[in-house]
Amino acid sequence: MDSRSASWNMTALSSTFSPETIAEIIKIHISSEDSSKTLLWSPSKSGSFSSNSAYFHSQAPRFTPPLALSFNWNKLWCSKIHNKHKLLIWKIVNNVLPCKAKLMSLFQITDTSCLLCNNSVEDLDHLFPELSLHSTSVVHLFLELQHQSICSPLH
């Protein structure tokens, strides 16, 4: 890009890209207003783009702890909720509830239809449509039922 004329540098483009790619690049509009503005790469603390920062940005989901690791499980285990509900919450949040879709990935089963409605694949989204597995809503749903703890305050 030629910043003085706010246009694409065709010589640089043709020495780097194929004609098909150049045709796509030149479709991108370059604003002629205030060319003194600088571009910032927001995933980087410095604002500068680097292949290293792009890699870490693309891999961010791997480095972000899932809900199962970030949640204070002691709050659940010490609540006065029935133990079977505690275990259900734990299995949902950790994505280990043995629904048919999950079992199909582990074993060779062919029928993954829901036993209750026979209309859809039995997975967590189908069994619990109102609950998002990417938030703490499933845990809060049950914890709101009982606020008192059975554990001592020291725990």
pTM score = 0.47
Beta bridge partners of 149: 79
Q: In the chain, what percentage of residues exceed pLDDT 70?
A: 70
Extract the tokens encoding 154.
């020291």
| Residue 18 banded pLDDT, cuts 50, 70, 90 | very high
Residues 21-51: tens digit of each pLDDT: 999 988 887 776 665 566 777 888 888 888 8
Give the torsion sign (CA, 16, 21, 23, 24): negative
- Spatial CB neighbours of 150, under 8 Å, sequence gap ≥ 6: 78, 79, 80
Residues 56-98: tens digit of each pLDDT: 888 876 766 566 666 777 888 888 888 998 888 888 877 788 8
Q: DSSP for the chain, please give it.
A: -BTTTTB--HHHHHHHS-HHHHHHHTTS----S-TT-----TTSSSS---HHHHHHHHTHHHHSPPHHHHS-HHHHHTBSS-HHHHHHHHHHHTT----HHHHHHHS-----B-TTTSSSB-SHHHHSTT--TTSSHHHHHHHTT---BSS-TT-
